Chain A
């Protein structure tokens, strides 16, 4: 049963600490997305990759957020330093190869981040 996995599922940290969230996309998917979900803003696209290359990170605060794909099986999203306003659920999603990979996304279960 192919699924996107994310770790940790929950993270509570103090303001100023570094946070790293990890995602394992579905094997064979070449498009990976990072989203943030809050009650106020809904689902926001932070960044996405195709074949491990970053294609768009315009939705991401550049001063504190960074996203990478060290290899095809791992995507990371880092926040340094974290702030209370970063509290949200962060989703990773992957899409199959081809044009439909942008649309037919498979989401992970999310990482619920709380910054105190």
Chain B
């Protein structure tokens, strides 16, 4: 089946640093999304991308839909403590199912 390879698996950064994570696949997708999950909660949608090459921002977050349609990245600028959590990429080919990546766990070191 379609799989999303998300990297890195975990990140340890200091407050104020920029963060970059990405998601790749051998399959082509029509939609890429990024969700964030806080401890004890369900994932929350951060950014949705619907066109290849699209670059979209949401506050300090920026995500891009790769030109090949096989990848996407998420950047967080000037990280703050509330950015801690697990970030999931997700993608949809149009078959009415979202495929989720394995997640990137972000930890901020005091």
Binding site for B on A (CB under 8 A): 4, 42-43, 45, 48, 55-56, 91, 93, 100, 102-110
- Least Cβ–Cβ distance between A29 and chain B, in angstroms: 13
Q: Chain A contacts of B43 at CB under 8 A?
A: 43, 91, 105, 107
Contacts of A107 in B (CB 8 A): 41-44
Q: Is the CB of A93 within 8 A of B42?
A: yes
- The number of residues on chain B lying at the interface, defined by a beta carbon within 8 Å of a beta carbon of chain A, is 19
Residues in B neighbouring A45, C-beta threshold 8 A: 97-98
B100 touches A103 (CB 8 A): no
The interface centre, meaning the residue of A4, A43, A104, A110 with most chain B CB atoms within 10 A of its CB, is A43
Q: Which residue of A lies closest to B41 (CB)?
A: A109
Closest to B31 in A: A103
CB distance A55 to B42 under 8 Å? no
Q: Is B45 an interface residue (CB 8 A)?
A: yes
Which one of A48, A91, A103, A110 lies within 8 Å of B48 (CB-CB)?
A: A103
Q: Using A103-B33, A103-B48 as known contacts, say yes or no to A56 and B42 having CB atoms under 8 A apart.
A: no
18 contacts between A and B (CB under 8 A): A4-B42, A42-B101, A43-B88, A45-B98, A48-B97, A91-B42, A93-B42, A102-B98, A103-B33, A103-B48, A103-B90, A104-B33, A105-B45, A106-B45, A109-B41, A110-B40, A110-B41, A110-B42
